Amino acid sequence: MTDELSLQCLWGKWGQPDDPSFHPLVCHMIDVGVVAEALLARVLPSSTRHLLQCGLGVTPQALSSQIAWLASIHDLGKASPAFQGLVENVWVPSLLQRAGLVAYDMTERPPHGRISGKSVRDILCRDWGFDRETAITVAAAVGGHHGLFPSASEVKSISELHDGGPSWDTIRGAITQAMATVFGVSADEKPTQCDSTTAVILAGLVAVADWIGSNTEFFRYAVAHADRPEPVDLAVYRDHAARQAVTALSGLGWNQLPHEALPLDFQHVFGFAPNALQEAALHVADVLPGPGLVIVEAPMGEGKTEAAQALADAVLHRHHLRGMFFAMPTQATSNQIFSRTSAFLAKRYPGDAVQLLLQH
């Protein structure tokens, strides 16, 4: 039994076990898919989008739907007795029974990311015609959304006791197809490759999309009463979730680059006119064909920090990039440069929500 209501009987998020409200797995998967889609369109620079498109071997037109689909199936391993049995209450067994499934006790419950690694690999090969190497790499990338890529030995250790065998595999296949339908994916557009660079970018994108898509401030539970769940129209829910994804990115300060600023007014931002070193740095920014390595050598007090900040800002805007990372050798120097960078950004982007983090 794999009708749409049956798929919605599997939970993806559940607050307190004695609370009848929950978020169906398919709804959470859609949440993460639309967030990934929004990140791709609104946050990632064009150079990264191009890397993903070429790395997956898909057309530019198909990239968005493919990324949304692959991100959505990150939690396919939650459609398993190992995961569904984690919440013990009166509602879960009844919901699973409606779907023709049963969860059972087990002494060891592997992380759902490992089960995703196995299930995604198998389904992409069996149902979607992926070559095995591509399926393995994609499955590891999306299965590693909690920071650990499932290893070959960990995936191999997943038994029918953990993933439920054929009956649960049928449900996982149906969920994968449902996500493909929601995001407009067909087998004709499937990725044909996934190298290690692409896998790392994909894994990072999925991890961030999952983090945002799990925020109940923006993505509230879709079912209020587990004892009488109403069917959710997945196409309608997708449209709602897509709007929430944009709201979430805006609320988190990720929605857009800072306003399309005019070229840097060096004297206004730093309080003095650029010297010869800083003029040279700005000239380098004008001729760089893309991100690269620039070495600035000068005695202390010549304005290397301001030269670096101005150069990075110019390259960022010229090539539509997303920000800068200022690395220093010690905590003390990092703290000092953090204050100077904060002052620089406040002058450069007054009124904009620019995120600045100090990381030790």
pLDDT value for 255: 67
pLDDT tens-digit readout, 20-34 = 999 999 999 999 999
Can you tell me the mean pLDDT for 135-144?
Answer: 93
Per-residue pLDDT band for 260 (boundaries 50, 70, 90) equals low
Looking at every residue in the chain, the average pLDDT score rounds to 91
Q: Which domain holds residue 289?
A: 266-348
Residue whose token pair is 């493909």? 180
For the stretch 301-318, pLDDT in tens is: 999 999 999 999 998 888
| Together in a domain, 66 and 109 | yes
Extract the tokens encoding 77. Answer: 């391993």
Q: Percent of the chain, pLDDT > 70?
A: 98
What would the pLDDT profile of 232-253 be if each residue is shown by its tens digit? 999 999 999 999 999 999 888 8
Give yes or no: residues 294 and 165 share one domain: no
Percentage of the chain modeled with pLDDT above 90: 68
Cβ contact 326:341 at 8 Å: yes
Give per-residue pLDDT as tens, 173-187: 999 999 999 999 988
Q: What count of other Cβ atoms lies within 10 Å of the Cβ of residue 59?
A: 10
Q: pLDDT band at residue 157, thresholds of 50, 70 and 90?
A: confident
- Half-sphere exposure at residue 211, Cβ-oriented, CA atoms within 13 angstroms: 13
Task: Flag whether 39 is in a domain.
Answer: yes
Task: Determine, yes or no, domain membership for 117.
Answer: yes
In the chain the first and final C-alpha atoms are separated, in Å, by 52
Residues 289 and 240 reside in one and the same domain: no
Q: State the burial class of residue 189 (Cβ atoms within 10 Å of its Cβ: 0-12, 13-18, 19+).
A: middle
256 within domain boundaries: no
Classify residue 77: in a domain, yes or no: yes
> Global pTM?
0.86
Q: Does residue 59 sit in the same domain as residue 198?
A: yes
Residue 155 lies in a domain: yes
Task: Report the alpha-carbon distance of residue 215 to residue 76 in Å, rounded.
Answer: 19
